[in-house]
Amino acid sequence: MHKWIATTLGAMALIAFAYQPGTARADKLDDILSSGKFRCGVMLDVPPIGYRDENNNPVGYDIEICKDLAKELGVELELVETPSPDRIPSVLSDRVDASVTGATNSLERAKSIGFSIPYQVWDYSVAVQKDNTTITKFDDLKGKKVGGVRGTTPELYFL
């Protein structure tokens, strides 16, 4: 069992659709509906957002959002594991229809993808054992080894 300590520096979960100004193409929603399949990119190395359970099945908040979207659209869900550095390239290269994952909305990223309204706004979280008594705030991590996701805003902060 874990408890989660969250700080408040505004990275957001996103649903990113490719945005290509001046490109004439069919609406992405029409493509998804006509194919009968929703290819949803997720990261599976960030519990509780996305990870694999004891049976190696994808679970987590982002996976539930993908399931809900596919259900509402009436299409089959295809989860596509997309590591952190591949979140945006997978959308731009059309390997996924959308990426439901944490990402910081930046001006540079907004030039190529669109961000949805986030379903959760948070940034740095630390998982510790439930019976932990030594790490109760972010500053208690000084001098400790921590794990994080490469290519993310929190990585920059920790480094």
Question: How far apart (Å, rounded) are the C-alpha atoms in residues 49 and 103?
Answer: 12
For residue 2, list its beta bridge partners. 129
What CA–CA distance (Å, rounded) separates 122 from 124?
7
Domains, in order of start, for the chain: 2-158 (3.40.190.10)
Q: Which residue has the tokens 């979140």?
A: 87
Instruction: Look at residue 70 in the predicted model and tell me its pLDDT.
Output: 97
Rounded Cα distance between 151 and 88, Å, is: 12
Regarding pTM above 0.85, the answer is: no
Q: How far apart are CA 23 and CA 37, in angstroms?
A: 23
Please give the mean pLDDT across all residues of the chain. Answer: 80
User: Are the beta carbons of 103 and 12 closer than 8 angstroms?
Assistant: yes
User: Could you give the percent of the chain with pLDDT greater than 70?
Assistant: 77
Residues of the chain with pLDDT under 70: 1-26, 122-125, 149, 151-154, 158
The per-residue pLDDT for 121 is 73
Degrees, nearest 5: CA angle 48-95-50? 5
Q: What is the pLDDT of residue 80?
A: 98
CB 109 within 8 A of CB 99: no
